[in-house]
Chain A
C-alpha cells in the first residue's frame, strides 16, 4: 500500500523550509504536497515522497511529529470532467474523503489524484469499477 508522510507544523515563517531542508539533506524528492492551515496557529503538511520510509525517519529524527498514512493514487484522464467521473463512483460507495490533492503528470498526459480516506480497500474496488487505474507504489514513487 502506498503511503504519504503527514507532518504537524506550526504556522510560522520558516517552519516549512526546515522540513524541506531535512528532506533535501537526505536527497529525498517530493512528488506532490499539500499544506493546510487551521485557525489555531498550526497546520498539517502532506507529502508524497519518492521514499516515504526514509523521509518519515528523517523527519522524526529531526524532532517532528510525522506519521505515515495509507493513501491510494488514481490516474485520471486529463480532460474536463475527469475528476467528476471518479468522484461520482466514490460518492456512490459513500466514501468520505479526509484529504485529497491532485497533480498533473505531463509525460503521461494524465492527472493523478492522491486520496486519503477511511476505507482504502473499498476505494480501490470502486476505482476498478469506474474503469480507472490505480498507480502502483513503484509508479508513485517514480513519477
Chain B
C-alpha cells in the first residue's frame, strides 16, 4: 500500500522543491499583478518577478495584512473575471468587513486535492467512512473537508455541527471510522457517549480523528486519544489560504507538514519582520503558489509557530510546523505581563483533577485588573474532603503564577458548568473597564 497520495510531490528533494516553488511563485506574481491591489503595489514598488533568483528572495516582496484584505473588500484581490468564480467562502468578520475568498475551478480542484492528501497522510483510505462534524456554509471546514474526503473516495457524511445524539446515531449506524472536528467538541461528544451508557471504544468503529481550527495542547490531544482509543491528528488551515489542508500531521504525529508545492511558508520575527532560523519561534507568513482567482503573497497570519528542524521519518520533504503557540493577536496583557491562553491551557492539562474545558475571565474588580481562571472539577477526584479541593486550588494558583507571573483568581466550578461551544470554544472573556471604553 502506498504511503503517499502524490509521491513525486510529497517526497521531492529539497533543492528540486525550492526550484519548483520559485517557478510557481513567479507565475503567481504574474497572475497577482492582474488584481487591482497587487497591480498597484507592484507598480508603485517596482516589483518584477524576474528579479527573484532564489526562493529566499521572497523576502524582498511586500507583506500583505488582514487590513489589506479588508480594505479591498470584496474584489480588490481578484485576478479573473467574475464569471470565472465558482465558489466563495469568508471569515466570520466579527470586527469590520469579513475576508472573502473567491475560487475558480482550478482553485477548488487544487484545494480538494490538498485535503485528500492530508487525509491520506493520516491513514484514511477510500474504504473509510468519514464524518465531518463542523459548520457547513461560509466556513471553509465544512465544504473543504467534504470535497477532500470525496476526492479521497471515502464515504462522506456531511453531519455538520451540533446535535450530539444524532452524531452518535450516524456514527454507529454507518460505522464511521474517521471524524474531522474541533478538539473541544470531542470532549463534549465523549460526555454524551457516557450519558447514553456507551463506550466509544466498544460501541464504534472510530480509528482516526482530524482535529483543528482551534488551538489546543499536546496534552489535550493525548487526553482525547485516551478517551476514545483513537489516534488524533492535528490539522492547520485558514480561510485566506483556501481553508483546511494547508498543513497536516502525518502518521508520525510530530509537526504538521506544510504543503510547499502549493504554499510558501516563512517564519519571521514579528518585530523586525526578518526570517528566523529553523527551530525558532516567529510569525507564520504564507504565500499561495497554486491559486488563480485570488493569489495572496506573504500574508501575515499572526499565528506563532516554528519550523521543526530535521527530517521527518515519513519521508516527506515538506517542512513541518510545530503546534501553534498562540496568535500574536490573542495574547492579552494583564498587570503588565504578556499572556497567551495556550500557556494557561498547558498548565491546566498537567492536572488530571480538572477537565479539558476552561475559561479565562479578565475583569476589573475595585479598580484592579484581575485574571480569573474557571476550571471544571473532574468528579472522579472528588472525595468529599475540602482539603483535596483546597490543595488543588493552591497548586493551580501557584502553577499559573510561576508560568505567567500573574497570580490568578482560580475558580473551581461544578462539572458541566462552563458553556459548551458548538463552534470554536471561547477561552478568554475580557470584561475589563479599560476595554469597555475602547
Contacts and interface: CB of A to CB of B under 8 A. Distances in A.
B412 interface: yes
Contact of B384 (A15, A40, A67): A67
A40 B410 contact: yes
Interface string B99-134: 000000000000000000000000000000000000
Contacts, number: 54
B416 A67 contact: no
B383 A36 contact: no
A10 B414 contact: yes
Interface in B24-56: none
A10 B417 contact: yes
Interface in A111-137: 116
A99 to B, nearest CB: 8
B412 A40 contact: yes
B415 to A, nearest CB: 6
Interface stretch (A58-66, A80-88, A100-108): A58-66
A55 B121 CA distance: 51
Given A6-B384, A8-B377, A8-B382, A65 B414 contact: yes
Nearest to B379: A65
A42 B415 CA distance: 12
Contact of A38 (B377, B390, B414, B415): B390
A40 B414 contact: no
A123 B211 CA distance: 54
Contacts of A109: none
A39 to B, nearest CB: 9
Contacts of A26: none
Contacts of A116: 384
B413 interface: yes
Interface residues of B, number: 18
Interface string A12-37: 00010000000000000000000010
Contact of A98 (B379, B382, B385, B390): B385
Contacts of B301: none
Closest 8 interchain pairs by CB? A6-B384, A65-B379, A65-B382, A69-B384, A67-B384, A41-B411, A63-B416, A40-B393
Given A8-B377, A65-B379, 17 more contacts: A6-B382, A8-B389, A9-B414, A10-B413, A36-B386, A40-B412, A42-B389, A42-B412, A42-B413, A63-B414, A63-B415, A63-B416, A64-B415, A65-B382, A66-B379, A67-B384, A69-B383
23 contacts: A6-B382, A8-B382, A8-B389, A10-B413, A10-B414, A15-B414, A38-B390, A40-B411, A41-B412, A42-B411, A42-B412, A46-B384, A63-B415, A63-B416, A64-B414, A64-B415, A65-B414, A66-B379, A66-B382, A67-B383, A69-B383, A69-B384, A116-B384
